[in-house]
Structure 1
Amino acid sequence: MPEGTPIAAVDDVPDMGSSLFTVEDAFTNEREAILVPCEQEPGVEAWINSCTHEAQRFDQGDGAAMRDGQLICPKHGSFFDACSGECDNGKAAGTTLPGIDIAVEDGTVYLVDENYEFLRTGGIDDDSGPSSSSHLSF
């Protein structure tokens, strides 16, 4: 078993979406993080739940929008590769998502990143939804 804290079962990560969890950084700041499916081993990756262009959450409690193995920023539509975290389009082009080190063993995902401590499954209680740069209102 890896030295780390169990986060979730690999099977609990949706095929198209994310699994939200909360970590604490070295400065005791709570940060939201997501587990997303990845076609490369170990089959999942973990990222801080925020676009690099603006602090926009990918997963707001109901799973991140994904298409063709990419996370989609809900504000500007930038696409981030779910496996590498890299973005090559939109306002976040040329940036990479901050990753979180994980390990997978026997179908369980473990947090092994020395910079974070696992706090809980789910996000930080925050009801702020995505702001939009669109001129349309509903």
Structure 2
Amino acid sequence: MADGTRVASVEDVPENGSVLFTAEDPFTNEREVILVRCAAEPGVEAWVNNCTHEDQRFDRGDGAPMRDGQLICPRHGSLFDACSGHCDNGEAAGTTLPSVAVTVEDGAVFLSDDGYTYLHEGGIDDDDTPSSTSHIGL
């Protein structure tokens, strides 16, 4: 049995797109993380859901834009290798996405990074709690 929290099944991770979940980092900050397909074993990688150039999310709730095994920054078009997280072009050239360790076992993806704690599927604001308790709209 794999250590860690089950995040998704491998078949849930699209060939071109991502699965989005929220985790807590070692400093108790909520971070969005994306699972993407990768040609190298174990076939799925996890990255913090932000471009290294600017605070720009790849997956805004409907899957990260991808092309030919690369994540595309929706702001400036920098391309990040889905397997290594490295970028060699555009505004983010020379940088690498922060990785989050996952384990794939028996067709399931588990969050196995000791620095992160799984909170919920979806983005930070997708936890089904109201953003306001007021019923008055302005």
Letter in 2 for 1:2: A
Letter in 1 for 2:118: F
TM-score by length of 1: 0.90
Distance in 1, matches of 2:19 and 2:11, equals: 11
Which 4+ residue blocks in structure 1 deviate beyond 2 angstroms?
none
**Paired position in structure 2 for 1:136:** none
**Paired position in structure 1 for 2:103:** 103
Q: How big is the shift at 1:26? A: 1.4
**Paired position in structure 2 for 1:33:** 33
**Which deviations, in whole Å up to 9, do the C-alpha atoms of 1:80-124 show, x marking residues without a partner?**
000000000000000000000010000000011010000011001
Q: What stretches of structure 2 of length at least 5 have no aligned partner?
A: 127-138
**Paired position in structure 2 for 1:73:** 73
**Which deviations, in whole Å up to 9, do the C-alpha atoms of 1:11-63 show, x marking residues without a partner?**
00011100000000111110000000001111110000000000100000000
Letter in 1 for 2:35: L
Letter in 1 for 2:26: A
Query: How high is the sequence identity, in percent, across the aligned residues?
Result: 70
TM-score by length of 2: 0.90
Secondary structure of the residue aligned to 2:11 is helix
Q: How big is the shift at 1:125? A: 1.1
- State how many pairs are aligned: 126
Q: What stretches of structure 1 of length at least 5 have no aligned partner?
A: 127-138
Letter in 2 for 1:110: F
